[in-house]
Amino acid sequence: MGDSTGKKSNEDLLAELGVDTQPVKKAVRTPREERIIAGFEEIQRFVDEHGRAPQHGEENNIFERLYAARLDCIRKQEECRQLVVELDHQNLLADGIAQPPADYKSDDEILADLGVDTPKEGDVTFLKHVKPRAEVRAAEEIANRTPCADFEAFKPLFDAVQSDLESGLREAKLLSKNAKVNQGDWFILQGQKVYVAEVSDERTYGFDGNDYRLRVVYDNSTESDLLLRSLQRALDKDEAGRRIIELSAGPLFDDVVADDDQASGTIYVLRSKSDLPVITERRDLIHKIGVTGGKVEKRIANAKQDATYLLSDVDVVATYNLANINRTKLEKLLHRFFEEARLDIKIKDRFGNPVTPREWFLVPIFIIDEVVDKIRAGTLANYSYDVQSAALVERGMD
């Protein structure tokens, strides 16, 4: 109906065009629906900020993993999809589900599954309660060990490493965060020696398909099939965790000691002038190996009075200067390395008391030279001395 001037109002015109001019009532949302929409908007803000959808993965922070799980739930449940489909300008609902999601009724349930303790009401500092699911999974994998069927093949390696630790050929070092892990590496984890026997060729394992699969053997005859990151996390968590490394003398041995080096002593090799039959038969092959912090000449000055030197004069066959190294540790290392070639000899000292000198070895001088070269290169732990062939042989499994 028009006004007194014959003009029609806007409402009249709209009515003639079939447009309902009654105010549109705003849809009333339930609290749950409001939470779903608000949660989806949080996901959208994440996408705006990072340029991608949130992703699962133990290396991602807890918020991204929460958003990823929440998005999976929205995609899966038709009711949720219909609530947010008109808001989906980033086309998030069209993406496939990253993994078959669980049915979650709340973010608290998602957080719980991700390993996060649900905060108390009003606690806005809930990140203090975070317990990364990655640590939980790592602990589970480490604990999930099975008997190692072929442990006999690995036992010689474990025995050799233990021997090397005792002699100083190897040492246990504190680990850095996220320690590198390679095939053939040795660690101490939870008080046990650990050997990384195998590493997968492809980096296609784990939740995100971006990890390596390991075969790890333990000194108690068990093994684990676990992810590289899981081993790293277990090592990080173990305050007593160590990497077992080979002794690396590096530049500590040299013919010339630099001005800024602290001279620590000398490795000396002696040959006896004794008339004992056991010496005269193989004089050129029997050597005394020692380490001194003083002058070798002074050390051997009274050799004829000392049963350690077989109560006889000696010739100095070779010397090797060293700097910045523990002399006692190095001497034990050398003696342990040549243990199988140690000369079994007993004599009486000048007072008639029986003595068993322990520093004489049936080893050619060229082998001693070679051993010192291996120490310089930091590779001696890869070799052992074979008495029968009088040669250094590379270690390895049979």
Which three-class secondary structure string do you get for 373-384? HHHHHCCHHHEE
Average pLDDT over every residue of 218-231: 90
Shared domain check, 259 and 221:
no
Residue 7 lies in a domain: no
Shared domain check, 260 and 383:
yes
Cβ proximity of 372 and 253 under 8 Å? yes
Integer CA distances (angstroms), 94 to 68, 103, 257, in order: 14, 19, 71
Average pLDDT over every residue of 26-49: 83
- For the cut 70, the answer to whether the pLDDT of residue 24 exceeds it is no
Residue 374 lies in a domain: yes
Shared domain check, 304 and 215:
no
pLDDT at 290: 93
Shared domain check, 280 and 381:
yes
Shared domain check, 226 and 118:
no
pLDDT at 303: 93
Shared domain check, 338 and 324:
yes
- The token pair that represents 299 in the structure block: 């050390």
Shared domain check, 240 and 300:
no
Residue 180 lies in a domain: yes
> What's the mean pLDDT when you consider all of the chain?
79
- DSSP letters, 64-81, are HHHHHHHHHHHHH-HHHH
Question: Which of 10-14, 235-239, 248-252, 273-277 has the highest mean predicted lDDT (pLDDT)?
Answer: 273-277
Residue after which a domain boundary falls, among 131, 147, 176: 131
- CATH for 220: 2.30.30
Shared domain check, 229 and 203:
yes
Domain with 178, as residue range(s), is 164-246
Cβ proximity of 195 and 362 under 8 Å? no
Residue 169 lies in a domain: yes
Shared domain check, 68 and 41:
yes
Shared domain check, 274 and 229:
no
Residue after which a domain boundary falls, among 131, 155, 180: 131
Per-residue pLDDT tens over the stretch 124-133? 333 444 444 5
Residue 267 lies in a domain: yes
Shared domain check, 234 and 273:
no
Residue 289 lies in a domain: yes
Tell me how many domains the chain contains.
Answer: 3
Residue 62 lies in a domain: yes
pTM greater than the 0.85 cutoff? no
DSSP strands (E only) in 109-199: 146-147, 170-174, 186-189, 192-199
Residue 170 lies in a domain: yes
Shared domain check, 292 and 185:
no
pLDDT at 124: 36
Residue after which a domain boundary falls, among 190, 211, 246: 246
